[in-house]
Every structure is written in C-alpha cells, then in structure tokens.
Amino acid sequence: MKFFVDTADVDAIRDLADTGLVDGVTTNPSLIAKSGRDFVEVVKEICDIVDGPISAEVTATAYDEMVAEGRKLAKIHDNITVKVPLTRDGLKTCKSLSEEGTMVNVTLCFSANQALLAAKAGATFISPFVGRLDDIAMDGMQLISDIVEVYDNYPALMTEVLVASVRSPMHVLEAAKMGADVCTLPPDVLLALFNHPLTDKGLEAFLADWQKTGQSIL
C-alpha cells in the first residue's frame, strides 16, 4: 500500500519524507488555507520534497474554468495530480485532463456508484472520504470494501483507490486488509503507525542489558 501525506504543512512533509516511506502528498483548499501560504508556492515546494503524485485541487466549479485551472496546475510539475470534485463538471474535467495525460484525483467521493463513474472518466485516483462518513454514523470502511470489490470486477479500470479522510491507524489497517491502493494520512496518523508500547518497553530492556555487558558495536 502506498502512503500519501494529507497536509500542506511543508515542514511536516519534509520531516515525514525523511523516513523514506512517503509516496505522495494530497492537499485541498482547506489545508492550503490552514497553511496560510500561497498555493502555487506551497505546491512547488512539496514537489521538490516528495517524488510522487502531489494532489493540487481546482477551485472552479464549471467545466471550462476547471479545465483551465487544471492545465495551469499541471504545468507546475510532472508529478502534479489535478484534484477535482465528484460532480458532473468535475468528471467531465477528469476525462479531458486524463486524455491529455494529466493525472487526476477525483475527490469528495461518498458512494461506490460515484467511484464507478470516476473510473469510467479515467481518474488516476478515486478519493472516498471514510472519516466524514463515520462522522455521520455511516460506515466509511464499508465504502472502501464496496469500491475495491466493484473495481476488481472490471480489471480494465485502472483507477487506484485512495482512502481519504483517514482519522486513525485502524482505518489504515482495515484499508490495507481490503487491498486499497493508497491511504492519505494526516501526519499524526502516519507517525502513530510507528508506535507500540511493547516496542518501547522491549527496546528499553535490550539497551539496559546491553549496557551491563560493557561492550560497544562501533
């Protein structure tokens, strides 16, 4: 499974990329607003840090403007993945940009039927939002299972399932068990994956015993 980082915080991205485990980055207009920085400047910096798909979202809602924004964003770097919302105009934009060879991430997906439409429109990634479904007492992970099952029935569909709106390590584990292609993770969730209290306890005991030997490896 690929791990993307879901943030526009360049320092956090640099820190996580240092682990060698980051395959891409997703941003959205809210994350850009949170960063307080210029959109294009931030996206350029992210492209310099991570060598993988970097999602940058259009903010127009009508087809012509969406395509124009998408083309402008795609010129920033070869790794730019233009993010479009799952609307009729968004999917039309997805089809046009995909046919031009631009990677497209279709976002704000909340049903398997929407995911099927996005795949038919040539999306590189479909982003189902699991956390936001959980928030309204619906089963976010069931949506991932449904999309994986539907896509598996049609091997010609090349769209990758990118699990978004991830809130906890359990979402990641369940997504991996279901065979989702990508999880995009807030930095704190990615960092939490490293942790286990028995790892800390075990390491502490090993180091204490090693110190008693008086030896050193180097």
- Tell the smallest beta-carbon distance from residue 183 to ligand E4P (Å): 9
Distance in angstroms (rounded) separating the CA atoms of residues 160 and 140 = 17
Residue 28 or 114: the one with the smaller Cβ distance to ligand E4P is 28
Q: Does 96 bind ligand E4P (CB under 6 A)?
A: no
Binding residue count for ligand E4P, defined by CB under 6 A = 11
Q: Which of 26, 79, 93, 159 binds ligand E4P (CB under 6 A)?
A: 26
Asked if residue 114 binds ligand E4P (CB under 6 A), the reply is no
Written as one string, the DSSP assignment of the chain is -EEEEE---HHHHHHHHTTT---EEE--HHHHHHHTS-HHHHHHHHHHH--S-EEEE----SHHHHHHHHHHHHTT-TTEEEEEESSHHHHHHHHHHHHTT-EEEEEEE-SHHHHHHHHHTT-SEEEEBHHHHHHTTS-HHHHHHHHHHHHHT-TT---EEEEBS--SHHHHHHHHHHT-SEEEE-HHHHHHHT--HHHHHHHHHHHHHHHHHT----
- The C-alpha angle with vertex 171 and arms to 166 and 176, in degrees rounded to 5, equals 115
Q: Does 7 bind ligand E4P (CB under 6 A)?
A: no
Question: Is 117 a binder of ligand E4P (CB under 6 A)?
Answer: no
Q: Of 34, 44, 72, 83, which is the active-site residue?
A: 83
Binding segment toward ligand E4P, per CB under 6 A, in 74-82, 84-92, 93-101, 126-134:
126-134
Q: Site residues for ligand E4P, window 149-208 (CB under 6 A)?
A: 164-165, 184
Q: Which one of residues 96, 98, 107, 159 is an interface residue with ligand E4P (CB under 6 A)? A: 107
Q: 87 φ, ψ to 5°?
A: -125, 175
Residue 56 binding ligand E4P, by CB under 6 A: no
Does 6 sit near ligand E4P (CB under 6 A)? Answer: yes
- Residue 83 is a catalytic residue: yes
Q: Phi then psi for 55, rounded to 5 degrees?
A: -80, 130
39 near ligand E4P (CB under 6 A): no
Cβ 131 to ligand E4P shortest distance, Å? 5
Asked if 124 is part of the footprint of ligand E4P (rule: CB under 6 A), the reply reads no
CB of 177 to ligand E4P, least distance (A): 20
Q: Which residues participate in catalysis according to the annotation?
A: 83
Contacting positions for ligand E4P (CB under 6 A)? 6, 26, 28, 107, 127, 129, 131-132, 164-165, 184
